[in-house]
Structure 1
Amino acid sequence: MEDHAATATDAHFDLAHTVAADEIDAQQHVHNLRYLQWTLWAAGRHTESIGWDAKAALARGLGWVVREHSIQYRGAALAGDEIIVRTWVHDLQRFASRRKYVIVRPADRTVLAKVETRWVFVDLNQHKALPIPDEAKEHLVVCPSPPPLPWESDR
């Protein structure tokens, strides 16, 4: 299932994915939880692409945990669809960051879902929120306005 291609700008990150047959549910479209999985993949790949070393942070007992997800489903993805998960950091606060995503099918210019996740930086050993360290902040570019959709940025 790791057939992902990725592209990045300073403001956003794109994860390309082809929907696999095992991602389809009994209703013959992508299972709702897969959308969430795609956003987690995109967030991880994005932070990796900008130089954040999650493994080093984990070794020190530090990391990001999800506090809240919000998903607006707007269309159904089907097996074989080529999709893009576009993500960006919407804001940085003292302890948390909001990351937004749009999941699209460029072939017919369909927005499949809009997602927002609130991530909190924590001490994983003490289960306690920590201020986001400067070493993390220096890697994250805040994009308070949504970037253009993939087909809009190709103009």
Structure 2
Amino acid sequence: MANFSISVNGKSHEVDVDPKTPLLWAIRDELGYVGTKFGCGIGQCGACTVHVDGVAMRSCQMTVENIASRNSEITTIEGLSENGDHPVQQAWLEHDVPQCGYCQAGQIMSAASLLSNIPNPSDEDISAGMAGNICRCGTYKRIHAAVKTAATKMS
């Protein structure tokens, strides 16, 4: 066990964990940000997606030690918008995207990162930017439409 300082959602937190602990478990178990979900544990499904210095990354594949050593800023779904009114979140509701909802935090975080890098994405950009986020309920058409709507809200 070791003590690490990590910045999550704009606040510094001390966590006492094994250095190789995946960031996902520090976020959920140590800090209580449970919006970030465990899906596959191997970085293939996207349920655990957070922003690391503004870039969508799989939190199950990063260690607390690595994040702390880089002084990275982590943003979880809880930190995306204090009131849940980020344009991507609004578009998700407008298009009734969630079905079971399990993957949605990761989907939203990927979409927000995509739109911060490509404000007016093409269909191909959206497909590429959202690739690797698996929705077991198959709401991909609604996700795609919501990303397009969020892009217009953000412009």
Question: Structures share a fold, TM > 0.5?
Answer: no
Higher strand share: 1
Higher share of residues assigned helix: 2
Max Rg structure: 1
Alignment TM-score, normalising by the size of structure 1: 0.32
TM-score by length of 2: 0.32
